[in-house]
Structure 1
Amino acid sequence: MTKNQCEQMDESFGWDVRQNIEEIRANVKEAVQAAGRAEKDVALMAVTKTVPPERVNVALQEGICLLGENRVQEICQKAAFYRASKDKIHFIGHLQTNKIRDIIEKVSMIESVDSLHLAQALSRECEKRGMEMDILLQVNIGKEETKSGFYEEEVLDAVERIAKLPGLKAKGLMTIPPRFSGTLYFEKMQELFLLCKEKKIEGLEFSVLSMGMSDDYREAIACGSTQIRLGRAIFGERPAAKPH
């Protein structure tokens, strides 16, 4: 599909996206008011896994300020069709070190730095290219075996070590807590985020607490999230995987 074809399809694919975004914004407004916060303090990210570019472009037209990409191969295929520069694109999926070179010039932040090994590899690649990359540390706040990330008790040491790595700018924390856990883990993340900020570690510029997805973004906002990551709530259910 060409760029022009994508643009022509934007309107026909976008009516539900617009409705969904309008509803989400109303919910966000209600949540921030209840928490005594301002709407401007919560960024809305559209998670674009498996979503066709024409639907993503509708979200951008509606003022969505950030896109979250989960897969290296997918962003490499779709980025040219987006009506967005790389400063609006973050990588939020699991990143293997051998894929760093493929992604590093296509995004403005990597939110899923889940180990010192990955941080060190990113730092080396940034040094080679004479560039800086904003990152978030991914926290496995529920200590789930199926998820990667730093455990709560590891975060402060990791932050101090990563803050010393050239080419990286640690901007905050990201998490995907256990499903249907209420506010328990969001509250833990808020405490951890504030603790990191209070340490005033040299080279650290913490401003982002990325948590809250389609099922729990209201609760995340109540617990201080500065960025919510919504896929299904914006674009609808993803198509079922085809059987092999």
Structure 2
Amino acid sequence: MNKVIATTAGAVADVPHGASIAVGGFGLVGVPEALIDALLEQGAGDLETVSNNLGTDGFGLGVLLSAGRIRRTISSYVGQNKEFARQYLAGELEVELTPQGSLAERMRAGGAGIPAFFTPAGVGTQVADGGLPRRYAPDGSVALASPPKETREFDGEAFVLERAIVTDFALVHAWKGDRHGNLVFRKSARNFNPPAAAAGRITVAEVEELVEPGEIDPDAVHVPGIQVQRVVHVAVTAPKKIEKTTLRETRS
């Protein structure tokens, strides 16, 4: 039951070339940056990532992207990352855009063994009708577009079918975890981490504080240990990053 791995390098050592990976985080918050850095050093490429966004330039998944290690991504938000936009428009990166709520539910459903579900999100748009550019050609034309999805009416309202997501691996960042893999997230760092943890066949959690089994109140557990296969303790010494700093003018 002891799921602790001594190092981040050891925790991701067996991630193969071409693996699919669900990654927690939202913007700069709750990102498993130590595991991502270890994966960068490990060398795996041709990866398919599932995450809300692909980090920012030089941070989070952005470091793997800049190194040319990500082939395809399923994401909701593509802002704040110039390299993401450049690779996408140049035809170097395949992107499956998914509404944020649908993305979270697709991962959660994958972990729950639910193959698909109907949702109203995206009905009447290219999300349901197809035609969203997934990959561009070098000349700027659309090389690959999203296909139409099945729609169905329930009680007079239209819904679109979304498939669940299950990945080879998942990387998440937690505030606290025990040796059995039970995890607790702190405030907004909870974000996409729980559904990402559910989606991975092998889920690796980096934790800021490692405790013994029984030290976490069962009512406080956000992700149960059954969904986590590896735990690695990471020391957080750098200050938390702020994506955009807004200062209010002071009045004399």
Name the TM-score, length of structure 2 as normaliser.
Answer: 0.37
Pick the structure with greater CA Rg. Answer: 2
**Which of the pair has the greater relative contact order for Cα pairs under 8 Å at 6+ separation?**
2
Task: Judging by fraction of residues, say which structure has more helix.
Answer: 1
